[in-house]
Chain A
């Protein structure tokens, strides 16, 4: 970890170009080598193939090369950093952000299997791999909360229960919607319109916008301060996994719209619901100790959304543009 840019530098710098060597470094790094990869490069890598999205077999083959063993991580230095180097304000901010991810990984793991039923055979391979990824990410957070934060529990649900008080009340909007959309697919697994609505929430909003933004906040803090090496390693490897998920999800949505252009209305309707409840917060998360402000995090959300929509060629209707303008803060100087 040589480069120590401020966590929010990328907001003002804009998209960065990745060299072939950087792409190879991201794609081919072993778990130990991931520690040296810049999280901003990995997030840029997510977008690299959005304009010419890889097919599902290619994504599955990447998964076979990139999967990692969550039990190889050693959290002993992280525990020292957490207990002795981080301030109480930093710990509280970190845990408030990370808890959404702790619960989010569990939700995306259990809500994905039904989407596989109506998928092509090649996409089924990719989704099966993604389910395994999400299970591994759930274990990653379980280990982090036990071994670093020090939460106690007999099983995974005990630890989820213990971290839930940090989860914001507005979490229910995307993740409750996902649970209900999954139930809709359970009943109607071949309903393409329902699948597109589900895909918009899961792949575009939750994974493409929320997850990548939250990852960026805690990972850039860890890199900036040189803390939590196992967290940085595991979560950056998680981000590399997410690049496959987002690319696969965008591929699905792009194909669905190309096959039936009227599907764009399902994407718009889903975004209309999501955006109409996204401008509200129920509790203040103090990002400042991690190097961010509230508005900068929200700017990050909407940058992620716009980039993905632009890259895969999905336009917004005028009323959605207006809704987006209402909920999107303006970054001073950005």
Chain B
């Protein structure tokens, strides 16, 4: 199993995001919701940089960069604290909240309760795809990993 916030973990996140939510998640919600999700996924052109603050062993912020295009993840990698950071939307979350998400904390409440916050990017544009983002965040959180 990959260590959290490593290249192996980012690769696993890329595959999981491209595959999308599993059957169990899909069965819990209406098909029209997933139709909207799939439509957004098919046209989504943006990138996310999902920060992890206070990453153990690093003590500063690293980012999971995710670039979408053509309904798939075209680039997914870790951006270190000293590397150039450029993404359509930059978001940040504390390590403890990443771990809580992995342990099953709800992705919707992760947004609503300000665990993850938008640091850069157009807020209103970002929320036009909020269901796509929340479901994708849940997918990333569920990627098997060793959290330090």
A interface with B by C-beta (< 8 Å)? 107, 164, 167, 169-173, 175-177, 179-181, 183-184, 197, 269-270, 272-273, 276-277, 280-284
B98 to chain A, nearest CB (A): 18
Contacts of A282 in B (CB 8 A): 29-30, 33, 131
A180 & B123 in contact (Cβ 8 Å cutoff): yes
Residue in A107, A169, A177, A181 whose beta carbon sits within 8 Å of that of B131 in the complex = A169
B residues contacting the other copy or chain, number (CB 8 A): 23
Given contacts A273-B128, A283-B30, contact A177 B123 (CB under 8 A): yes
Once the chains bind, are B112 and A107 in contact (CB under 8 Å)? Answer: yes
B123 touches A277 (CB 8 A): no
Given A175-B112, A176-B111, A276-B128, verify A169-B117 contact (CB < 8 Å): no
The answer to whether A281 and B30 touch across the interface, beta carbons within 8 angstroms, is yes
Contact B112 A176 (CB under 8 A): yes
A-B CB contact pairs (8 Å), 30 listed? A107-B112, A164-B106, A164-B109, A167-B108, A169-B33, A169-B134, A170-B33, A172-B108, A172-B111, A173-B127, A173-B131, A177-B127, A177-B130, A179-B112, A180-B123, A183-B117, A183-B118, A184-B123, A197-B123, A197-B124, A273-B124, A273-B125, A273-B128, A277-B127, A277-B128, A280-B33, A281-B30, A283-B30, A283-B33, A284-B30
The binding surface of chain B is classed by DSSP as helix
Contact code string B16-44 (vs A, CB < 8 Å = 1, else 0) = 00000000000001101100100000000
Q: Which of B113, B123, B131 contacts A170 (CB 8 A)?
A: B131
Residues of A within 8 A of B112 (CB): 107, 171-172, 175-176, 179
Give the tally of cross-chain contacts (CB within 8 A). 77
Q: Which residues of A contact B128 (CB under 8 A)?
A: 273, 276-277
Are B124 and A169 interface neighbours, CB within 8 A? no
Q: Closest A-chain residue to B29, C-beta based?
A: A282
Complex interface: chain A residues within 8 A of B134 (CB): 169, 172, 176
4 additional contacts (CB under 8 A) given A169-B108, A176-B134, A283-B30: A164-B109, A169-B33, A177-B123, A269-B124
> C-beta contact mask, B95-135 vs A, less than 8 Å → 1, else 0?
00000000000101101111001100001111110110010
Q: Which residue on B lies nearest to A273, using beta carbons?
A: B124
Alpha-carbon distance between A284 and B28 when the two chains are bound, in angstroms: 11
The docked-state distance in angstroms from the alpha carbon of A167 to that of B117 is: 21
